[in-house]
Structure 1
Amino acid sequence: MTAPSQVQLCAENLSREYPSGEDRVLALAPLTYTFPAGLTAVVGPSGSGKSTLLNLLAGFDRPTTGHVLVGETDLTDLTEAQRADFRLAHYGFVFQSHNLVGILTAQENVEFPLTLAGMGRRERQARARDLLAQVGLDKRGSHLPSQLSGGEAQRVAIARALACNPPILLADEPTGNLDSRTGERVLSLLQGAAGSGRTVVLITHDREIAARADHHLSVLDGVVTPA
């Protein structure tokens, strides 16, 4: 896979609390951590704080304390519109449910972020075809998501995540709905993305999947520790 420009993803004293009646619930205890290039697995049970961490790293949610730094950029200093533009250029996302646009073909789904980024029609079509070939779906570009298997749809989602060649890839339980063989293929694609110099953060509850990562974090009751 094409090597992206490299930037460092850092959490500095990052925490998140939520109100609960007259009390406050600590969803993520203060975390200071620099995510290295390669594949980092964040493992923990449901409700442990994994998704809270991912949402903060992506700038989908604002922290109670601390900062998320991507290179020299502090996400907490950006407006919502600025964060959206920044994510388009610097992040790719893969979710447990592939979140493809149902009325668009596989090819068009991969092209979608390139359209938002202002890439010309011919260039984005060529880029999307190349990415679909990289994930083994060069023959499925004209198919709608409803015509794809779960594993195929997830591979389209990975191609879409890589469309703008982002330095950071965030994956939230991307193998959770897949059988073991298909999940293995998806994991291999994420490992390939990490091997090209990206920072890939993989949220998972599956310790066998996590064991395949280069780096490991464990989350329990909102507390993140090296595993």
Structure 2
Amino acid sequence: MTAAPLPTLHVEQLSRIYPSGDGQVQALAPLTHTFPPGLTAVVGPSGSGKSTLLNLLAGFDTPTTGTVSVGGTVLTTLTETQRADFRLKHYGFVFQNHNLVSILTALENVEFPLMLAGMPVRERTDRARALLALVGLEKRAGHLPSQLSGGEAQRVAIARALAGNPELLLCDEPTGNLDSRTGELVLGQLQDAARQGRTVVLITHDREIAALADHHLQVRDGVVSAVD
């Protein structure tokens, strides 16, 4: 049986303008783009609009104009509750500071989105253990985030992001706080996810890391351009 195609992430005339004093700031100029399966690196200087783009892709922010669609679903037509439910089913997120829940163990952090999705206890525990093994941390399952190194915590965050088997992974500077070797390990796990057919969008300031991506976008003063 042929696997069903993964939904496409597409933006149409997407823009974001913020009020600033007596005027306005265009954080993102109108963008029409389809994000293909694989790893897309988004590079640009600080304040260029990279995080604005990521927040719009996730539905965390509301565009001034345009739409974000995943398959046949247009995020901008959903209510806030519907967007949250859609993200839980289709998105995974990896942030620079990992954002693990401090009072939960590594295993419980990975289980958390599965609990929200209503997965039975035994099934979600088995999946969380398998994902920790995938990122080489099965022996750290019972440790709290404060007992993990920065690199270990980020790998737990990747396991958590993969927990719901999402089609889309959005990553905001996931290697920014890591040494080069650990950063390479984290990037390798994201590349593996991309090779499985997922659409992975990676915000990074590191051009060496960006060079390893399948596709490349550059953001400058809110203007996004392809550099493939």
Asked if the contact 1:4–1:165 (Cα under 8 Å) also holds between the matched residues in 2, the reply is: no
The code of the aligned residue for 2:187 comes to: L
Deviation string for 1:155-199 (max 9, x for gaps)? 000000000000000000000000000000000000000000100
- In the alignment, what sits opposite 1:119? 119
Asked if the contact 1:45–1:220 (Cα under 8 Å) also holds between the matched residues in 2, the reply is: yes
Instruction: Provide closer, same or farther for how the CA distance between residues 5 and 125 of structure 1 changes in structure 2, counting only shifts above 3 A.
Output: farther
Asked if the contact 1:12–1:66 (Cα under 8 Å) also holds between the matched residues in 2, the reply is: yes
- What CA distance in whole angstroms lies between the structure 2 residues aligned with 1:178 and 1:123? 32
Q: Secondary structure at the match of 1:142?
A: coil
- In the alignment, what sits opposite 1:102? 102
Say whether 1:67 aligns with 2:67.
Answer: yes
- In the alignment, what sits opposite 1:142? 142
Say whether 1:167 aligns with 2:171.
Answer: no
Q: Secondary structure at the match of 1:63?
A: coil
Displacement of 1:84 after TM fit? 0.2
Where does the alignment leave 5 or more consecutive residues of structure 2 unmatched? none
- What CA distance in whole angstroms lies between the structure 2 residues aligned with 1:192 and 1:15? 31
- What CA distance in whole angstroms lies between the structure 1 residues aligned with 2:55 and 2:46? 15
Where does the alignment leave 5 or more consecutive residues of structure 1 unmatched? none
Asked if the contact 1:154–1:186 (Cα under 8 Å) also holds between the matched residues in 2, the reply is: yes
Deviation string for 1:12-69 (max 9, x for gaps)? 0000000012211000000000000000000001000000000000000000000000
- What CA distance in whole angstroms lies between the structure 1 residues aligned with 2:181 and 2:205? 17
- The runs of at least 4 aligned residues of structure 1 exceeding 3 Å deviation read none
- In the alignment, what sits opposite 2:33? 33
- What CA distance in whole angstroms lies between the structure 1 residues aligned with 2:17 and 2:219? 16
What TM-score does the superposition give when structure 1 sets the normalisation length? 0.98
- What CA distance in whole angstroms lies between the structure 1 residues aligned with 2:209 and 2:163? 25
- In the alignment, what sits opposite 1:84? 84
- What CA distance in whole angstroms lies between the structure 2 residues aligned with 1:12 and 1:109? 35
The code of the aligned residue for 2:134 comes to: Q
What TM-score does the superposition give when structure 2 sets the normalisation length? 0.97
Q: Secondary structure at the match of 1:139?
A: helix
Q: Secondary structure at the match of 2:138?
A: coil
Q: Secondary structure at the match of 1:102?
A: coil
- In the alignment, what sits opposite 1:151? 151
How many pairs does the alignment contain?
225
- In the alignment, what sits opposite 2:133? 133
The code of the aligned residue for 1:180 comes to: S
- What CA distance in whole angstroms lies between the structure 2 residues aligned with 1:174 and 1:144? 20
Deviation string for 1:48-95 (max 9, x for gaps)? 000000000000000000000000000000000000000000000000
- What CA distance in whole angstroms lies between the structure 2 residues aligned with 1:109 and 1:5? 29
Displacement of 1:4 after TM fit? 9.1
- What CA distance in whole angstroms lies between the structure 1 residues aligned with 2:43 and 2:169? 16
- What CA distance in whole angstroms lies between the structure 1 residues aligned with 2:4 and 2:92? 12
- In the alignment, what sits opposite 1:54? 54
- What CA distance in whole angstroms lies between the structure 1 residues aligned with 2:56 and 2:12? 11
Displacement of 1:6 after TM fit? 1.0
Q: Could you tell me the percent identity over the aligned residues?
A: 77
Deviation string for 1:100-131 (max 9, x for gaps)? 00000000000000000000000000000000
